[in-house]
Amino acid sequence: MFSTDISPQRRIEIITKIAQKTVDLRLTPIAIVLLETTKPLSFVGSQLMVFFQPIITAVFPFYQYEEIAALLEDRNNIELLIKIIEQLEENRRPPAKKNRKKEETSPNEEAEH
């Protein structure tokens, strides 16, 4: 199977599912660093997945594993995965507090008043 064999809708669905699981497990920083550093080797990694396929498919459904291996062949999919992880992480974080006056005053300033 090649990455071109996977429909664009299915591609987005798989990548979003992986990204959501990464964010849910709070592995965002480590995942982004790992993906960025291994991006040049994405094709080699996908071929390793093909090599280990008989062992891993004993645990995971075959069609999903084959699709993920095919998606990892293309560096654009890795970049898309990173972008979606970053977007989901931004949506997960609560908005920053706008008024931090009390936190910004030092104990010396409070003693002076």
Average pLDDT over residues 105-110: 54
Distance between CA atoms of 5 and 59, rounded to whole angstroms? 24
Q: Which residue carries 């990173």 as its tokens?
A: 82
Average pLDDT over residues 45-67: 81
Distance between CA atoms of 40 and 112, rounded to whole angstroms? 58
User: Where do the H-state alpha helices sit in 1-113?
Assistant: 8-24, 28-38, 42-51, 53-56, 62-71, 75-92, 101-104, 107-112
Tokens for 75, please give them: 């560096």
The model's pTM is 0.71
Q: Is the pLDDT of residue 108 over 60?
A: no
Distance between CA atoms of 42 and 62, rounded to whole angstroms? 20
Q: Is the pLDDT of residue 91 over 90?
A: yes
Rg (CA), the chain: 21
Q: What is the pLDDT of residue 112?
A: 54
Higher pLDDT among residues 50 and 10, named by residue: 10
Distance between CA atoms of 85 and 32, rounded to whole angstroms? 8
Q: Is the pLDDT of residue 81 over 70?
A: yes
